[in-house]
């Protein structure tokens, strides 16, 4: 199995914030190859202990969030149209006339729908020049109100229909690269450990305790990471997420470059010593990497994990991503591999702060 196979399997799984069951099950399936110590908690967090754990060792947490952005059904009107709201920061500009899937909690079906759009011939004046507010958006599922209410429940989640596709130059696009790409990077790092130490890692003594967390609810309130990191009580954390890759219409100094490798974070809320060790490791091992400087909070799980209990030394290691929070999030496989290799080398070397 290659990196792209894991990525396609994960991005194809459904998992809008607060309803991540399917995505969590898919991630758990991959983890079973490496450890038997896996659980999915009541918040859909996937937590796995990698290798033998010893109370005398330091604990390193590897985190990536498993949820994706989407929508939630708030009302079914008397004509059978669904009213919705957003789960996470969805880009409203791309919604009109999109094909969607309504994930029915009643039947388990994925019901195809279309986000309604008034034909341009019927628009007047400035109508249509701005993206509509989410409260003014409806979904047509082709059903009467009576039938829609029989098979669709208020609170059911909605995703834009978008298959994962391979592009030229080792690139892929999908609706859920944020952050299934981060989950993929951690899984591939564990795969590299498995190849180094031999198969299942349950009986292997790694340089320190490793805990994998695929966390829920990041797109709405970072809730999964808050809950799980308190329970795990790690010494250090590498938080793998996506960050902005440069496009022609974006400020270059605020973006990473696709193909230039892992984006190692530096921020007031991150541990500078950990950032510097990762940068040095990237240089020493010739691992493609670049530096991402953030002036305040990172807007990732690192913000919650770093202040869990009495504090966790945390650093972000991000994957450059174009077109974030759209159905065509785009990345390059080599950047995922750079993140994986950096994590693998960090674990292998046991570079955990000894203080």
Per-residue pLDDT of the chain in tens (355 residues, 90 and over written 9): 899 999 999 999 999 999 999 999 999 999 999 999 999 999 999 999 999 998 889 999 999 999 999 999 999 999 999 999 999 998 888 888 899 999 999 999 999 999 987 666 656 666 666 777 888 889 999 999 999 999 999 999 999 998 999 999 999 999 999 999 999 999 999 999 999 988 789 989 999 899 999 999 999 999 999 999 999 999 999 999 999 999 999 898 899 999 999 999 999 999 999 999 999 999 999 999 999 999 999 999 999 999 999 999 999 999 999 999 999 999 999 999 999 999 999 999 876 554 4
* CATH fold of the domain at 71-160: Elongation Factor Tu (Ef-tu); domain 3 (2.40.30)
- Residue 346 makes CB contacts below 8 A (sequence gap 6+) with 60, 238, 277, 278, 281
C-alpha torsion sign, points 244, 246, 248, 249: positive
Contact 263, 245 (CB under 8 A): no
**Rounded CA gap, 262 and 259, in Å?**
9
Predicted TM-score (pTM) of this structure: 0.94
- Domain positions in the chain: 3-68+175-349, 71-160
Report how far residue 149's alpha carbon sits from residue 102's, in angstroms, rounded to the nearest whole number. Answer: 13
Three-state secondary structure readout of 167-206: CCCCEEEECCHHHHHHHHHHHHHHHHHHHHHCCCCCCCCC
Supply 149's token pair: 């209410």
List, in order, residues 6 or more apart from 20 with CB less than 8 Å away: 44, 66, 67, 216
Query: Residue ranges of the alpha helices (H) in 233-332?
Result: 272-284, 302-305
Structure-token match 């208020």, residue found: 154
Whole-number pLDDT of residue 355: 44
- Distance (Å, rounded) from C-alpha 114 to C-alpha 141? 7
Domain 3-68+175-349: give its CATH code. 3.40.630.10
């Amino acid at each position: 199995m290659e990196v792209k196979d894991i990525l396609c399997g994960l991005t194809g799984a459904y998992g809008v914030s607060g309803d991540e069951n399917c995505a969590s099950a898919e991630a758990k399936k991959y983890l079973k190859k490496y450890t038997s110590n896996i659980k999915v908690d009541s918040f859909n967090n996937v937590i796995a202990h990698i290798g033998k754990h010893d109370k005398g060792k330091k604990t390193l947490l590897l985190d990536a969030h498993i949820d994706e952005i989407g929508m939630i059904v708030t009302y079914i009107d008397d004509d059978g149209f669904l009213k919705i709201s957003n789960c996470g920061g969805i880009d409203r500009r791309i919604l009109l006339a999109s094909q969607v899937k309504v994930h029915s909690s009643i039947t388990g079906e994925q019901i195809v729908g279309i986000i309604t759009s008034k034909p341009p011939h019927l628009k007047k004046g400035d109508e249509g020049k701005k993206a509509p507010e989410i409260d003014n958006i409806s979904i047509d599922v082709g059903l009467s109100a009576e039938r829609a209410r029989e098979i669709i429940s208020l609170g059911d989640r909605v995703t834009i229909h978008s298959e994962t596709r391979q592009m030229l130059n080792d690139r892929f696009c999908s609706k859920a690269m944020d952050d299934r790409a981060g989950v993929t990077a951690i899984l591939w790092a564990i795969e590299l450990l498995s190849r180094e130490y031999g198969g299942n890692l349950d009986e292997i003594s790694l340089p320190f305790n490793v805990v994998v967390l695929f966390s829920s609810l990041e797109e709405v309130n970072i809730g999964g990471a808050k809950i799980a990191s308190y329970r795990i009580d790690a010494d250090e954390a590498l938080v793998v997420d996506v960050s902005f890759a440069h496009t022609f219409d974006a400020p270059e100094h605020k973006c990473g470059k696709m193909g230039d490798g892992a984006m190692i974070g530096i921020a007031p809320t991150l541990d500078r010593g950990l950032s510097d060790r990762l940068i040095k490791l990237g240089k020493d091992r010739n691992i493609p990497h670049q530096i991402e400087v953030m002036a305040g909070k990172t807007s990732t799980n690192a913000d919650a994990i770093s202040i869990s209990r009495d504090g966790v030394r945390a650093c972000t290691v991000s994957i450059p991503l174009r077109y974030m929070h759209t159905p065509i999030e785009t990345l390059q496989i080599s950047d995922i591999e750079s993140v994986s290799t950096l994590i693998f080398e960090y674990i292998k070397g046991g570079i955990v702060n000894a203080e």
